[in-house]
Structure 1
Amino acid sequence: MQAQATCLPVTSSPEAGTDAGAKDPAERRDDAPAAPVPGTAAEPTAGAGHRSWTAALLAERPASDLRGDLSRFGVGVGLASLYGLALGARQGGASFAHHAAGVPAAMVAVACVGVPALTIVLTLFDAPLDPPRALSATARAAASTGLVLGGLAPASALFVVTSGSDVTAALMGLLGLAVGGVVGVGFLLRDLGAALRRDGGLVRLSGATAALVGFAVFAVVLALRVWAETLPILNGGVS
């Protein structure tokens, strides 16, 4: 008589079910992205729209801000003085003070003499340019000039100190001044021209454009005159 195998039902215990396939909910979510930690993921987003100091200095300001414009102009003058110190490194001594004051002196002369005269001339053409807008454009131009001259100061100091000829040192110093001056005048003409194009008519634009061109020539001549009188390096080191 053949023995019959007794088939016993296989039952799974709760422990076996857990080991076989029903993983813990936390284990099933291992592949899911981790939850953001408070204070870490939000930091790059918070600083994404932050402007640099240079961008804030050169940013256009639609509303007139006398204190802000004067502060921006002062920053430009201070940065230009750094370029003057670089030029004074050739002779040293009192030459530092002469050049540190002489380089921004041209900026101050153009701002105090040239810009008011330009504003008066533009009023003859009924140009819509008020003094606060002219001041804001002047301050932005001075800041741009100061940034350029301040950035060129280390290289200029190296050239004027190591140059074996006074003429070469003077030409290198004048080249940096020319670059900074062109950038500043370009900023000023662009800002004033944009204001006139936005609010002025065709006839007024023609006269205003001629006035802006004349101002650019006047600013260059005045700046060169001031630098020739105040910078010893342009006179062979004679203060």
Structure 2
Amino acid sequence: MQAQATCFPVTSSPEAGTDAGLNEPAERRDDAPAAPVPGPAVEPTAGAGHRSWTAALLAERPASDLRGDLARFGVGLGLASLYGLALGARQGGASFAHHAAGVPAAMVAVACVGVPALTIVLTLFDAPLDPPRALSATARAAAATGLVLGGLAPASALFVVTSGADATAALMGLLGLAVGGAVGICVLLRDLGAVLQREGGVAGVSRSTAALVVFAAFAVVLALRVWWGMLPILKGGAL
């Protein structure tokens, strides 16, 4: 009888691979670490972490930053001058200079006359307000006023040039001044009130609040007086 050879099952080794993956490289085996799946590239956002120029101008700063406060006050005056140039576009010529100087003149008058007087009154009430803090609040209020007036300058120029009557042009110009001045006074009173409420006593807060209300009324009257005396558009164009 012919001897039959015993057949043994062929076992595949890990090195040789299975029938389904004899030619599969070792890097593609199940026990090999999976290759990382590339994801969408994340590009850094341009300007991330940087404040805008407007936000930096209106940001709260230390009270001891004298140079920064003066610079911010000057920027506010310059932006307010743009609104004055817009008002002067109705008559042209020398009216540009008169209005460009007259609009920020009211801000200077309030800062140089009204704020020091308010600081003295609050000092008499034993309020915790020193000149550096008053200057910082004044500079921030001037910057806010300048931003509003500078933003309204193009529309104001259009209205005052196309208005048929001098009274209409004067009314539109005065409306822009009122909006800008109201924003500035609100910023100033809010900053000063926050300091007084945070560091002042309960008894002194009521007196300080009364002083702030009186100051607001005084600032409005003073600004209107300066604008009426220096802006020809409010008087029908008479220089």
Q: What TM-score bracket applies, with the shorter chain setting the length?
A: 0.7 to 0.9
Distance 1:88 1:201 in 2: 48
Match of 2:208 in 1: 208
- The equivalent position to 1:17 in structure 2, one of 22, 46, 66, is 22
C-alpha displacement of 1:22: 6.5
- Given that 2:63 and 2:136 are in contact with CA atoms closer than 8 Å, whether structure 1 keeps it comes out as no
1:195 and 1:79 map into 2 onto residues whose CA distance is 27
**Matching of residues 1-239 of structure 1 within 5 Å:** 17-18=22-23, 23=28, 29=35, 32-34=37-39, 41=43, 43-44=44-45, 47-239=47-239
Whole-Å separation in 1 of the counterparts to 2:119 and 2:111: 11
Paired letter, 1:94: A
The Cα of 1:35 is off from its aligned counterpart by 8.6
Inter-partner Cα distance in structure 1 for 2:187 and 2:219: 13
Over the matched positions of the two proteins, sequence identity in percent amounts to: 77
CA distance 1:29–1:220, change in 2 (3 Å): same
TM-score (norm 1): 0.86
CA gap 1:10/1:89 in 2 versus in 1, 3 angstroms: same
The code of the aligned residue for 2:150 comes to G
- For residues 144 and 161 of structure 1, the distance between their equivalents in structure 2, rounded to whole angstroms, comes to 26
Once residues 129 and 171 of structure 2 are traced to their aligned partners in structure 1, the CA distance between those partners, rounded to angstroms, is 37
Show CA shifts across 1:99-128 (max 9, x none). 000000000000000000000011110000
Unaligned 5+ runs, structure 2: 1-6
Cα distance in 2 for partners of 1:221, 1:132 equals 25
- Whichever of the two has the greater Rg, that structure is 2
CA RMSD of aligned residues (A): 2.8
- One-letter code aligned to 1:80: A
Contact persistence 2:73–2:139 (CA under 8 A): yes
Q: Distance in 2 between matches of 1:171 and 1:52?
A: 33
In the TM superposition, residue 150 of structure 1 has moved relative to its aligned partner by 0.3
* TM-score normalised by length of structure 2: 0.86
Give 1:203 shift. Answer: 1.6
Cα distance in 1 between the residues matched to 2:63 and 2:119: 18
2: distance between equivalents of 1:130 and 1:18?
85
Q: Give per-residue Cα distances to partners, 1:23-81, cap 9 Å, x unaligned.
A: 499xx647x12496xxx74x32x832211110110001134200000000000000000
Instruction: State the Cα distance separating 1:177 from its structure 2 match.
Output: 0.2
Q: Deviations over 1:176-198 (max 9, x none)?
A: 00000000000000000000001
Q: Does the C-alpha gap of structure 1 residues 130 and 21 become closer, same or farther in structure 2, counting only changes over 3 Å?
A: same
Indicate the structure with greater helix content.
1
C-alpha distance after superposition, 1:155-201 (max 9, x if no partner): 00000011111000000000000000000000000000000001111
Distance 2:23 2:143 in 1: 71
Q: Distance in 1 between matches of 2:210 and 2:29?
A: 81
CA distance in 1, matches of 2:29, 2:80: 68
